[in-house]
């Protein structure tokens, strides 16, 4: 039976997700209540941290978010989105600002990771991209098994540009979407503020899922509440 409070979504669907969707998986948001950056004295990791001298502290900054697949499992919201994809006759694409890899773990197949992923690292010498395996958890700075160079997390830091293919793919998906669902993002910073601005979302039905932050304009229907409770209400048409 379909619950009375369910919300129909017509495809193609784009989910635009931020840190709020991973709260149910136990990861704190960056800017929301209790977030990592609530303390204004803490500088976000940025491009200038990618030096041999500063890489140990950069890796240390990400240590709270480096988990094995056994330690970190998708939230109910991640799983609900993957389930929606399985039951949708039209494509369901996820554009995420998160680097935790949880959408793919949940079973979603069309995932655009705007800010890269903490599941891989990249050596500074030859740019080899390598999985971060358990062997590296306790290294201060992991080394590349191919060339021996030191590695950085494969994520986009403040001051670095987004991977061009991810950004282009995201724009195409948003342009073709009939429904856009923003989950757990305040969408006030680039690239979110650009990708889901009024112009890019004008022709789509727009749903905003967030417990605290109101949508940027009246074009969005606000389902106020946690990602886990609100994504569960969505039903594909």
Which residues form the catalytic set?
A: 115
Q: Which of 147, 193, 198, 237 binds Zn ion (CB under 5 A)?
A: 147
Number of residues that bind Zn ion (CB under 5 A): 7
**What backbone torsions phi and psi does residue 81 show, to the nearest 5 degrees?**
-70, -40
What is the tally of helices (H) and strands (E) in the chain? 7, 11
Whole-number minimum distance, CB 121 to Zn ion, in Å? Answer: 10
Residue 214 found at the interface with Zn ion (CB under 5 A): no
CB 7, CB 85: distance < 8 Å:
no
Which CB, 75 or 154, lies closer to Zn ion?
154
Cα–Cα distance between 13 and 91 in angstroms, integer?
A: 6
Residue 72's alpha-carbon distances to 14, 49, 65, 97, in angstroms, are 24, 26, 9, 18
Residue 233 found at the interface with Zn ion (CB under 5 A): no
**What backbone torsions phi and psi does residue 163 show, to the nearest 5 degrees?**
-60, 130
**In the range 113-142, which residues lie near Zn ion by CB under 5 A?**
123, 126, 128
Whole-number minimum distance, CB 120 to Zn ion, in Å? Answer: 12
Whole-number minimum distance, CB 143 to Zn ion, in Å? Answer: 9
Residues that bind Zn ion (CB under 5 A): 123, 126, 128, 144, 146-147, 149
């Amino acid at each position: 039976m379909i619950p009375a409070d369910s919300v129909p979504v017509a495809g193609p669907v784009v989910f635009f997700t931020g840190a709020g969707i991973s709260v149910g998986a136990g990861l704190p948001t960056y800017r929301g209540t209790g977030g990592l950056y609530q303390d204004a004295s803490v500088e976000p990791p940025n491009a200038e941290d990618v030096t041999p001298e500063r890489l140990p502290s950069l890796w240390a900054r990400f240590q709270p978010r480096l988990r094995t697949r056994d330690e970190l499992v998708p939230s109910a919201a991640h799983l609900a989105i993957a389930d929606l994809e399985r039951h949708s006759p039209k494509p369901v694409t996820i554009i995420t600002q998160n680097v935790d890899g949880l959408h793919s773990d949940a079973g979603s197949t069309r995932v655009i990771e705007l800010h890269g992923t903490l599941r891989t690292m990249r050596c500074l010498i030859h740019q080899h991209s390598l999985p971060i395996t358990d062997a590296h958890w306790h290294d201060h700075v992991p080394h590349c098994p191919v060339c021996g160079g030191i590695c950085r997390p494969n994520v986009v830091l403040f001051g670095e540009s987004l991977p061009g293919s991810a950004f282009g793919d995201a724009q195409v998906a948003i342009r073709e979407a009939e429904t856009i669902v923003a989950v757990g993002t305040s969408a006030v910073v680039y690239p979110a503020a650009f990708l889901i601005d009024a112009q890019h979302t004008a022709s789509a039905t727009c749903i905003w899922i967030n417990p605290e932050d109101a949508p940027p304009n009246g074009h969005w229907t606000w389902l106020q509440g946690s990602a886990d409770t609100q994504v569960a209400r969505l039903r594909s048409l």
